[in-house]
Amino acid sequence: MKNLLKYILLCFCIFLPFGVKAATYQVEVVRSDAGNTSLGTFSDYNEAKRVMNEYPSDNKNVAAIYRDGKIINAKYAVSQFNYNHAAPDSGGADNIHRLFPSTTSSTVYTTVAAPYGIDAAFLDYDVSSDRAQIKISGYTGWTYLANINVVPISKLATSVKVTATTNITVRADHNTGSTALGSVALGDVYTFYDKYYDGTYTWYKIYYNGGYGWFASLNERWSVELDSGIQTYYEHHSKGNLIHYYNNHWGTSYTNLGPAPSYLNGNMNYYSFDGQYFYDDYKKMIDDYKENSNRRAVNAGKPHYAYYLYLPNHSKTGYTADDFNQIIRNYGYTSKAQSAMYDEGQSFIESQEKYGVNALLTFSAAINESARGTSDIARYKNNLFGHGAYDNCPFDCATSYASVKEGIMAHAKMTGAGYNSPSDWRYYGSHYGNKQSGMNIQYATDPYWGEKAAHNAFINDHNFGSQDYLINTIGLKISDKQVEVKKQPNEQSETIYVMKNKSTSVANMPVIVLDKVTQNNQSWYKVYTDASLDGNQNVINDGTYSFENSYGYIKVEDLYVTNNQPTIYANDIQINVGDLIDLKKNVTANDVENGDLTSRITVTSDVNPMVEGNYT
């Protein structure tokens, strides 16, 4: 009997989970006055999430879930990337955060460098994978919770001013026993990223001496919050343009994306993390994102696509070599020693002629990447585009070229035959784009790299007479449907390629629309293809591009056309054999964006006035 008892006790000791503590989840209402109200403690995460979602959160009171003192979910919140942080999924690279398409996926869709864009829309948290769902620069994906701070909108005051007459110690954490890092003084103003109330002090988290620190305020006796709100937003500027302000670790930056849509008022901020749908209330935006809808947007059902952000690289500019040279001179540069871009206008034009890549877009990317040709990589390596300049090895790893022209030609070839080629793994559309579609997905970790290039294209074009703006009609495949590009406008025609990435479907992929034709009661758009084609419309992969040969057809219902095709007004005419004829007489053209386009009509015809017959 003793032996049996020993056996039972032994088994009991092995299987009893000594020291295992089940996770608990505290649901609290995070109030704007720094105090919280408890809604209960739960052992089941899904029950905690239900309670959080059922609470009627508003701008000043947001229900959130805490675990071990950290917010892991909130009804309405901003996700802010951690800085000076080696992400658990980055291979040790500081500040580089991977975004996955699902909670379980090991395939990375894109990466984001935290310093270039702090804010994202926070949408959800998955307890099994410890990943958070966020939306930034058009892409909705999952990142590890350790990469971000979840900040309820009730805590989003943007800056705090020190009013205490004596210096206040900055500490490593929000308690008086933590390490002192320095101090703040009367009149200092700091952006703060979090705040914490310990029952006596309100602590503010600020960016301090290359990292983060906290300082305390006794109610409002030692400091005052200057304003509140979200620092990433869009504005219809007084000059008529759409300005995107975004929060980064150096402050607030902006891009100018061209004329603002008419439905945006000029006296308020609009929220958007895709630049396509805009919201006058942050909560409405989050509700839509969680539903994967746009019904609450001020432009519901009518997405906005900034022209230069979605203009395919396989297009042409009207600018000349002399124009590009003059633009650089207008910036104040007078020699090659000052800017590697000086007098390189002909190189940009030749890159377009050979590889079919828009010289203005290439020029605009160079301005962004090389600081107008003044960066060390540009001046010492003839590299205007940051080729090989990885985040952890920018200068030493950057590619060197024998001349600036060689670097420009290499970039145009890489763009056209690489990022813009449907057969390349980096192809997500032939435009600069954002983190959802376009070159920005794989080319740069900066979530707003595409916007910066588009900004440069618009600004330089605007300052030089706007000769390129809206000269193309852009059509977009706005869903992730896989759309076929055909050789001829009929279902039976051979498919040239499918609009998708090699391994995944992609939404918001643009093409340039050339014409609209109807055959057998089916309407098709004639478009420039992203693939380079020969005279028989077969794909070629030598990097060159012929606009004459590279065209195909897409069904009208598969494209959303963002700007109107011109309407041409003409009547049938009859002449006698041998009569002189002016085919443009009494013919007019106009569209909504540009107005009267009659002077830009060209005629292609096989009319022979010496031969009787009917001609089109």
- Determine the 3-state secondary structure of 583 from DSSP: coil
- The amino acid present at 11, given as its one-letter code, is C
pTM of the model: 0.81
Burial class (CB in 10 A: 0-12, 13-18, 19+), 477: buried
User: Which pLDDT does position 21 carry in this prediction?
Assistant: 56
The residue that leads in pLDDT, 16 or 237, is: 237
pLDDT of amino acid 613:
86
* pLDDT tens figures, 355-398: 999 999 999 999 999 999 999 999 999 999 989 887 678 888 89
So what's the pLDDT on residue 84? 61
**Per-residue pLDDT, 291:** 97
Q: How far does Cα 235 stand from its chain's mean position? A: 17
Q: 89 CB contacts (<8 Å, ≥6 apart)? A: 97, 98, 143, 144, 147
pLDDT recorded at residue 565: 65
State the distance between the two ends of the chain, measured CA to CA, in whole angstroms: 108
Dihedral of the alpha carbons of 295, 299, 302, 305, in degrees to the nearest 10: -120
Predicted pLDDT at 578? 84
Tell me how far CA of residue 370 lies from CA of 321, 374, 378, 384, 601, in angstroms: 19, 6, 6, 5, 39
Q: Please, are residues 506 and 594 in contact by the beta-carbon 8 Å criterion?
A: no
Cα–Cα distance between 377 and 380 in angstroms, integer?
6
Give the number of other CB atoms < 10 A from CB of residue 122: 27
Select from 412, 311, 429, 427 the least CA-distant residue to 355: 412
How many Cβ atoms sit within 10 Å of the Cβ of residue 492?
6
Whether 102 contacts 139, CB under 8 Å = no
- Give the pLDDT of residue 94: 65
* pLDDT band per the 50, 70, 90 thresholds, residue 14: very low
What local confidence, expressed as pLDDT, does residue 90 receive? 55
Angle at 52 between CA 51 and CA 58, to 5 degrees: 130
Tokens describing residue 1: 């009997």
Q: What is the pLDDT of residue 431?
A: 98
Question: Which is higher by pLDDT, 430 or 520?
Answer: 430
Partners of 235 in the β-ladder: 243, 269
What pLDDT does residue 3 have? 40
CA pair distance 384, 370, nearest whole angstrom = 5
Rounded average pLDDT over 22-42: 89
Sheet (strand 139-144) strand order: 139-144, 131-136, 119-126, 77-81, 148-152
DSSP string, 68-131: TTEEEEESSEEEEE-SS-B-TTTTT-BTEEEEBSSSS--S--EEEEGGG--EEEEEEEETTTTE
Judge whether 523 and 556 are in contact, CB under 8 Å: yes
Instruction: Return the residue matching tokens 């990142």.
Output: 143
Sign of CA dihedral 401, 406, 408, 409: negative
List helix spans (H) across 331-423: 345-355, 359-370, 376-381, 404-414
Q: 189, 119, 197, 173: which is closest to 151 by C-alpha? A: 119
Whether residue 34 has pLDDT greater than 70: no
Residues 6+ apart with CB under 8 A from 143: 89, 97, 98, 99, 100, 131, 132, 134
Amino acid at 346: Q
Strand order in the sheet with 588-591: 567-569, 588-591, 595-596
Structure tokens at 487: 């050789």
| 314 alpha carbon, distance to own chain's centre | 20
pLDDT value of position 542:
87
Cα 104 from Cα 392, distance rounded (Å): 28
Among 270, 276, 354, smallest CA distance to 310 is for 276
Is the per-residue pLDDT at 525 higher than 60? yes
pLDDT in tens, 418-437: 999 999 999 999 999 999 99
Write the CB contacts of 407 (distance below 8 Å, at least 6 apart in sequence). 382, 383, 384, 385, 387, 399, 401
How far from chain centre, in Å, is Cα 174?
34
In the beta sheet, which residues pair with residue 139? 136
Cα gap 335→444, rounded to integer Å: 29
Q: How confident is the model at residue 86 (pLDDT cuts 50, 70, 90)?
A: low
User: Is residue 5 predicted with pLDDT exceeding 70?
Assistant: no
What pLDDT score does 22 carry? 67
pLDDT tens for 471-494 read 999 999 999 999 999 999 999 999
**Quick one: how far is CA 381 from the chain centroid?**
29
Confidence class of residue 32 from pLDDT cuts 50, 70 and 90? confident
How far from 105 is each of 41, 121, 143, 149, CA to CA, in Å?
Answer: 31, 21, 11, 22
Structure tokens belonging to residue 14: 């092995």
| Statement: residue 553 has pLDDT above 80 | yes
Six-digit token string for 468: 């390129």
